[in-house]
């Protein structure tokens, strides 16, 4: 093997994910009218229980991504339903906006459901589900979110840029969730 080819193979191996690492399988996003939708299928190296443990640590959710600024539980509002506050910052091009979200979250088996509380945040409506299926030592995820912001995105390219920013932040957060879940399994 020539040295140039060997260097290329070595460089490619540095980019390879280790066996069992977090993996995106499918991403679909769209904007229809006022509503934004994002669907992701992924494979987590950590098991569903460990991942849900990270996702339901409401006092530390803000540590999962630099754009998440604050998170906390506001307490139980019904049996098995927790009210959670999240403050974040979203930047599209040079424009940044601080956003607030209050959600009612419930976990059923290996599925987490979150529904926005109307008039208590930066979204008129929204719902998210994280549905995990055990897969060996890890878990497969079907993630779906839809939301209607209470603010107007920038005209023209704003909706596409907003959706791109949400998609990127969600992927990056999922990677960190898996990393922390794997560390908690150790």
pLDDT, one tens digit per residue, over 108-143 is 999 999 999 988 999 999 999 999 999 999 999 999
Indicate whether 11 belongs to any domain: no
Give tens-digit pLDDT for 19-44.
458 999 999 999 999 999 999 999 99
Indicate whether 1 belongs to any domain: no
Domain containing 174 equals 22-185
pLDDT score recorded for residue 7? 34
Residue 72 to residue 57: CA distance in whole angstroms: 9
pLDDT score recorded for residue 25? 96
Mean pLDDT within 172-177: 96
Does 72 have pLDDT greater than 60? yes
Indicate whether 108 belongs to any domain: yes
Indicate whether 129 belongs to any domain: yes
Mean pLDDT within 76-86: 97
Annotate 30-47 with three-state secondary structure.
EEECCEEEEEEEEEECCC
Indicate whether 122 belongs to any domain: yes
CATH for 106: 3.30.530.20
Mean pLDDT within 56-80: 96
Indicate whether 4 belongs to any domain: no
Domain count, the chain: 1
Indicate whether 74 belongs to any domain: yes
Residue 100 to residue 119: CA distance in whole angstroms: 10
Instruction: Give the strands of the sheet with 123-135, arranged side by side.
Output: 23-32, 35-44, 138-149, 123-135, 111-116, 95-108, 81-92, 68-78
């Amino acid at each position: 093997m020539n040295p140039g080819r060997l260097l290329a193979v070595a460089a490619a191996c540095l980019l390879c994910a280790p066996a069992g690492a977090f993996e995106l399988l499918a991403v679909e996003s769209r904007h229809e009218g006022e509503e934004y939708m994002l669907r992701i299928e992924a494979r987590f190296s950590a098991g569903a229980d460990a991942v849900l443990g990270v996702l339901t640590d409401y006092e530390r959710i803000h540590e999962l991504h630099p754009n998440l600024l604050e998170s906390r539980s506001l307490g139980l509002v019904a049996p098995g339903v927790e009210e959670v506050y999240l403050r974040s910052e979203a930047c599209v091009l040079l424009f940044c906006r601080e956003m607030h979200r209050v959600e009612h979250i419930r976990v059923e088996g290996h599925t987490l459901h979150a529904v926005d509380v109307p008039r208590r945040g930066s979204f008129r409506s929204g719902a998210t589900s994280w549905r995990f299926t055990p897969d060996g030592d890890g878990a497969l995820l079907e993630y779906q979110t839809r939301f209607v912001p209470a603010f107007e995105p920038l005209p023209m390219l704003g909706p596409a840029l907003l959706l791109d920013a949400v998609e990127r932040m969600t992927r990056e957060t999922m990677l960190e969730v898996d990393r922390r879940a794997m560390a908690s399994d150790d």
